[in-house]
Amino acid sequence: MKSSILILASLITVLVHSQNVKQEKVSTENEIKVLAELIVDEGGSKVQISKYKVLKTIKGKVTNDTIRVGYYFYNELKSKPKTSILTLRAYNGNLKNEDYYIFPEYNPSKGIEKAQIATVRREYWEACETGKEICKPLEFLRASKGDKWFLILPCGGTETKAYFSEKKDFSKFFSKKEKTSEEKIIFLETEVFHAQCPPVFELTNLEDGKYFAYMMSCGLGGGIEINLKTKAK
């Protein structure tokens, strides 16, 4: 009798574990990730609403550049970061506003990861490309090393190819096959079509110093200098 109970308990444990794994897989497959900027906390009653501007979609799809995200009032955070990586779920209930999403388990602590975001304005890049203005190097400052940090570049056109390196003349590294003795240099690259814009680089693991960004597209081109620094404690 005792052995039968133990066998039954083991079977229940296996079934529960399998169900949890299945639910976790479905949950991960349906998740949406975006880089976003908090616009305003709109409040609410049982469900609180925060409005965000989507800066870049990392995973999945959102319906608009401005979205509203819901969470239960008892999960409210003392403060929310201005910019962050949001993990979201699509809302499947009845709601007139289609640009509405929810945090996992209606809990912002499970859906908000603080991230610092640096942005290069299109006007600045155009001025550097055309030589209309003196193209002074940009300087971006992070609060501390280890913080999530992203660089957003302007969209160049129908198709944008962007590169980021510690070397000013890195055209010979456009083809990965040509990397030889300098294989270890920092060289990031991305290619996006207009629907995937803007191009983004993650700077989190980069050391402070001088870097160069270069772009090839039908609307923008050329390169700029960027200096990365960390605030002194």
**pLDDT given for residue 201 in this prediction:** 95
Domain covering 31-114 assigned CATH 2.40.50 in the classification: yes
Helix (H) or strand (E) holding 202: strand 200-202
**pLDDT given for residue 87 in this prediction:** 97
What is the 8-class DSSP label of residue 74?
G
Whole-model pTM?
0.78
- CATH pick for 117-230 out of 1.10.10, 3.30.70, 1.10.8, 2.60.40: 2.60.40
Q: How far apart are CA 183 and CA 203, in angstroms?
A: 19
Q: Where does the chain hold its CATH 2.40.50 domain(s)?
A: 31-114
Q: Where does the chain hold its CATH 2.60.40 domain(s)?
A: 117-230
Q: How far apart are CA 70 and CA 108, in angstroms?
A: 9
pLDDT by 10-residue block (mean), the chain, 233 residues: 52 44 49 96 93 94 94 94 96 79 96 95 91 86 90 92 83 53 71 91 93 91 92 74
DSSP letters along 158-193, please?
SEEEEEEES-S--GGGSSGGG--TTTTS-EEEEEEE
What is the 8-class DSSP label of residue 97?
-
Amino acid at 113: E
